[in-house]
Chains A and B, each alone.
Chain A
Amino acid sequence: MYDAPLTRREAAVDDVKISARDVQVFYGDNHAIKDVDVDIQDKTVTAFIGPSGCGKSTFLRCLNRMNDTIDICRVEGRITIDGDDIYDKRVDPVQLRAKVGMVFQKPNPFPKSIYDNVAYGPKIHGMAKNKAELDEIVERALRRGAIWDEVKDRLHAPGTGLSGGQQQRLCIARAVATEPEVLLMDEPCSALDPIATAQVEELIDELRQTYSVVIVTHSMQQAARVSQKTAFFHLGHLVEFGETGQIFTNPEDKRTESYITGRIG
Chain B
Amino acid sequence: MPVFWLSLLIVAVAAVGFVLARGRALAAVDGDRRHLHSLPNYYGWNAALKVLTPAFALLFVWLIVQPIWMNTQIAGALPDTAVSEDSTLALVMSDVRRVADGLDLAVAQGIISETNAAAIEAGATDVRGVLAQAGVALGSDVDPTVLAAAQSYRSLSGVGDAAMTVAVLLLALAGMGWALRQTTAEFRARNVVEQGVRAMLLFAASIAILTTVGIVFSLIFNTVEFFRIYPASDFFGSLTWSPSFGGGSELGIWPLLWGTLYISLIALLVAVPIGLFAAIYLSEYAGSKVRAFAKPTLELLAGIPTIVYGLFALLTVGPLLLSAFGRDGLNWMQAGTAVMTAGLVMGIMLIPFVSSLSDDIINAVPQAMRDGSYGLGATQSETIRQVVIPAALPGIVGAILLAASRAIGETMIVVLGAGAAARLSLNPFEAMTTVTAKIVSQLTGDADFASPEALVAFALGMTLFIITLGLNVLALSIVRKYREQYE
Contacts and interface: CB of A to CB of B under 8 A. Distances in A.
Contacts of A165: none
Contact of B375 (A101, A106, A112): A101
Nearest to A94: B379
A177 to B, nearest CB: 8
Contacts of A174: 372, 376
Contact of A120 (B287, B288, B373, B391): B373
Given A71-B288, A110-B387, A110-B391, A64 B369 contact: no
A94 B378 contact: yes
Nearest to B378: A124
Nearest to A125: B377
A111 B377 CA distance: 18
Contact of A94 (B369, B377, B485): B377
B375 A66 contact: yes
B372 A97 contact: no
Interface string B348-389: 000000000000000000111111111111110010001100
Contacts of A104: 368, 371-372, 375
B129 interface: no
A146 interface: no
Given A120-B386, A124-B382, A110 B377 contact: no
A142 to B, nearest CB: 15
A69 interface: yes
B390 interface: yes
A64 B376 contact: no
Nearest to A72: B288
Given A104-B368, A106-B368, A111-B391, A97 B376 contact: yes
Nearest to A111: B391
A160 interface: yes
- Per DSSP, chain B at the interface is helix
B386 to A, nearest CB: 7
Nearest to A97: B377
Contacts of B375: 64, 66, 97, 101-102, 104, 175
A96 B376 CA distance: 10
Given A120-B386, A160-B485, A110 B370 contact: no
B44 to A, nearest CB: 49
A127 B477 CA distance: 39
A99 B387 CA distance: 20
Contact of B369 (A71, A97, A99, A108): A108
Most buried by A among B367, B368, B377: B377
Contact of B376 (A112, A160, A178): A178
Nearest to B375: A102
Nearest to A158: B485
Nearest to A103: B375
A215 to B, nearest CB: 15
Interface in A139-162: 160
B161 to A, nearest CB: 67
Interface string B386-414: 11001100000000000000000000000
Interface in B275-289: 287-288
A216 interface: no
Contacts of B377: 94-99, 101, 121, 124-125, 178
A171 interface: yes
A94 B378 CA distance: 6
B372 A69 contact: no
B371 A111 contact: no
Contacts of B287: 71
Q: Could you say which interface size class chain B belongs to?
A: 20 to 34
Interface residues on A, range: 20 to 34
Contacts of A111: 369, 390-391, 485
A112 B389 CA distance: 12
B288 to A, nearest CB: 7
Contacts of A97: 374-377
A214 to B, nearest CB: 13
Nearest to B380: A94
A27 B375 CA distance: 20
Contact of B372 (A64, A71, A99, A110): A110
B376 A120 contact: yes
Contacts of A101: 375-377
Contacts of B485: 111, 160
Interface string A82-112: 0000000000001111110110101011111
Highest count of chain B CB atoms <10 Å: which of A97, A109, A111, A171:
A111
Contacts of A108: 366, 368-369, 371-372
Given A94-B379, A104-B368, A66 B390 contact: no
A69 B368 contact: no
A120 B379 CA distance: 12
Contacts of A96: 377
A171 B372 contact: yes
B383 to A, nearest CB: 10
Contacts of A110: 369, 372-373, 387, 390-391
Contacts of B378: 94, 120-121, 124
B381 to A, nearest CB: 11
Contacts of A99: 377
Nearest to B366: A108
B375 to A, nearest CB: 4
B376 A69 contact: no
Contacts of B288: 71
Nearest to B372: A108
A174 B386 CA distance: 15
A124 B379 CA distance: 9
B287 to A, nearest CB: 8
A175 B371 contact: no
Given A108-B366, A110-B369, A66 B374 contact: yes
Interface of B: 287-288, 366-379, 382, 386-387, 390-391, 485
Given A124-B386, A178-B376, 4 more contacts: A66-B371, A110-B390, A111-B485, A174-B376
6 contacts: A69-B367, A71-B287, A97-B376, A108-B372, A110-B369, A110-B372
Closest 3 CB pairs of A and B: A98-B377, A108-B368, A102-B375
